[in-house]
């Protein structure tokens, strides 16, 4: 046990890639981390980490030893958690980073109940659509749409993120209802631009094949809520997440378009956290509570095909009205 600090230092240096990163994880100074590692190396008689001014790299011996160290710390953490979890409430701050729209709609409503259940926790929420460096920014839990940042993290699926095409009734009354993907060429389109500057094409299923359509946008926004707001204001046809549009579809403020041919995609929201087998109980209970909340929220598991027929039929009837008007 006297080399516990050295084992902790080694594992966190391997995860963070630097003494400074390991120090942030352990809430120590870089000098303290360096001393703990040096004592462990002295006892073993072998160098485990090659140091430089900015980075730290495991030696071959260190790479072999770090796996054993992780196993030892995991077993110790499990034993301590098992003994203490019934006697002590999770305590401390848990920092959560989540995209703005998903956070407002689906994460914030869950937090008061979690805070009430664990009164010694402090839940800190960052609503931000930009890419986050969990280690450098001190984030415990990130919730994002897309893939896992790297192999040093764990991702657990919160829900799928199907996409839909929508427009306001006011816009459709003026411009008509597109009945096929080719009709979109004659419409004003609202495009989402991601943080890296890219604009994703819209996809359709035609004769069993997936066909990409790149809209010529009249309006562009880098926030998913802004895309929906522009559609609500009559700006044109927009592609957005079903869950962002769902309240407006149900209220009749937006109409669903081309539901039979539009490809909803395979994106999903994931809960991401550092791959530490000795995960702090304060973080673990929040992850478990959020995942339970997502599982129990029925709207998060809807697909476009699950929507009531009335929402899909509205667009068809509007199209008939517009066509009759234009012929007359």
Is residue 192 over pLDDT 80? yes
Q: What is the CA radius of gyration of the chain?
A: 25
pLDDT at 1: 52
pLDDT at 85: 58
pLDDT at 118: 93
pLDDT tens across 107-120, in order?
999 999 999 999 99
Residue 24 — very low, low, confident or very high, per pLDDT cuts 50/70/90? Answer: confident
pLDDT tens across 84-108, in order?
654 467 888 999 999 888 899 899 9
Tokens of 68: 């054993």
Task: Please tell me which of 46-50, 112-116, 142-146, 208-212 the model is most confident about, judged by mean pLDDT.
Answer: 112-116
pLDDT tens across 215-226, in order?
889 999 988 889
Residue 197 — very low, low, confident or very high, per pLDDT cuts 50/70/90? Answer: confident
Q: Which residue shows structure tokens 């697909």? A: 303
Is residue 168 over pLDDT 70? yes
d(CA 184, CA 97): 36
d(CA 191, CA 109): 28
Tell how strand 237-241 and strand 121-127 pair up: unpaired
Mean pLDDT of 171-179: 91
**63 vs 292: which has the higher pLDDT:** 292
pLDDT at 95: 95
**199 vs 253: which has the higher pLDDT:** 253
Tokens of 71: 């196993």
Is residue 55 over pLDDT 80? no
pLDDT at 276: 59
Residue 322's SS3 state is helix
Is residue 150 over pLDDT 60? no
- Percent of the residues in the chain that have a pLDDT greater than 90, as a whole number: 35
pLDDT at 215: 87
pLDDT at 324: 39
pLDDT at 40: 87
Q: What is the DSSP letter of 162?
A: -
What's the sign of the alpha-carbon dihedral 267, 198, 221, 130? positive
Is residue 320 over pLDDT 60? no
Residue 25 CB contacts under 8 Å (≥ 6 apart), including other chains:
12, 15, 16, 135, 274
Task: Please tell me which of 11-15, 184-188, 208-212, 324-328 the model is most confident about, judged by mean pLDDT.
Answer: 184-188
pLDDT tens across 298-314, in order?
888 888 888 877 675 34
**Mean pLDDT, the chain, integer:** 84
Nearest to 8, CA basis, from 43, 50, 48, 36: 36
Q: How far is CA 43 from CA 32, 69, 83, 243, 301, in A?
A: 17, 15, 30, 56, 54
pLDDT at 79: 72
Helix (H), strand (E), coil (C) string for the chain: CCCHHHHHHHHHHHHHCCHHHHHHHHCCCHHHHHHHHHHHHHHHCCCCEEECCCCEEECHHHHHHHHHHHHHHHHHHHHHHHHHCCCCCCCEEEEEEECHHHHHHHHHHHHHHHHHHCCCEEEEEEECCCCCCCCCCCCCEEEEECCCCCCCEEEEEEEECCEEEEECHHHHHHHCCCCCHHHHHHCCEEEECCCCCCCCCEEEEECCEEEEECCCEEEEECCHHHHHHHHHCCCCEEEEEHHHHHHHHHHCCCEEECCCCECCCCCEEEEEEECCCCCCHHHHHHHHHHHHHHHHCHHHHCCHHHCCHHHHHHHHHHHHHHHHHHHC
Mean pLDDT of 138-142: 90
**314 vs 63: which has the higher pLDDT:** 63
pLDDT at 321: 42
Tell how strand 92-98 and strand 141-145 pair up: parallel
**166 vs 268: which has the higher pLDDT:** 166
For residue 202, give the H/E element and its range: strand 202-206
């Amino acid at each position: 046990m006297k080399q516990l600090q050295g084992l902790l230092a080694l594992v966190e240096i391997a995860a963070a890639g630097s003494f400074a990163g390991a120090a942030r994880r352990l809430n120590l100074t870089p000098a303290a981390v360096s001393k703990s590692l040096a004592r462990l190396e002295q006892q073993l008689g072998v160098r485990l980490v090659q140091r430089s001014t900015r980075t730290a790299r495991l030696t071959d011996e260190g790479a072999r030893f770090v796996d054993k160290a992780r196993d030892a710390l995991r077993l110790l953490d499990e034993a301590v958690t098992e003994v203490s979890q019934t006697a002590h409430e999770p305590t401390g701050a848990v920092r959560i980073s989540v995209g703005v729209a998903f956070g407002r709609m689906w994460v914030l409503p869950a937090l008061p109940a979690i805070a009430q259940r664990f009164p010694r926790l402090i839940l800190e929420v960052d609503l931000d659509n930009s890419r986050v460096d969990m280690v450098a920014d001190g984030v415990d839990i990130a919730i994002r749409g897309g893939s896992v940042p790297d192999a040093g993290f764990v991702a657990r699926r919160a829900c799928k993120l199907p996409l839909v095409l929508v427009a306001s009734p006011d816009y459709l009354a003026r411009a008509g209802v597109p009945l096929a993907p080719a009709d979109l060429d004659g419409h004003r389109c609202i495009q989402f631009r991601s943080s890296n500057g890219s604009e994703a094409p819209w996809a359709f299923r035609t004769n069993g094949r997936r066909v990409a359509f790149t809209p010529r946008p009249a309006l562009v926004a880098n926030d998913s809520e802004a895309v929906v707001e522009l559609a609500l204001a009559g700006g044109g046809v927009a592609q957005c997440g079903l869950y962002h549009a769902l309240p407006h579809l149900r209220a009749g403020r937006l109409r669903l378009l081309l539901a039979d041919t539009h490809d909803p995609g395979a994106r999903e929201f994931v809960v991401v956290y550092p791959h530490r087998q000795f995960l702090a109980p304060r973080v673990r209970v929040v992850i478990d509570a959020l995942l339970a909340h997502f599982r129990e929220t029925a709207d998060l598991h809807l697909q476009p095909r699950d929507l009531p027929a009335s929402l899909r039929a509205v667009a068809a009837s509007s199209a008939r009205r517009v066509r009759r008007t234009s012929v007359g």
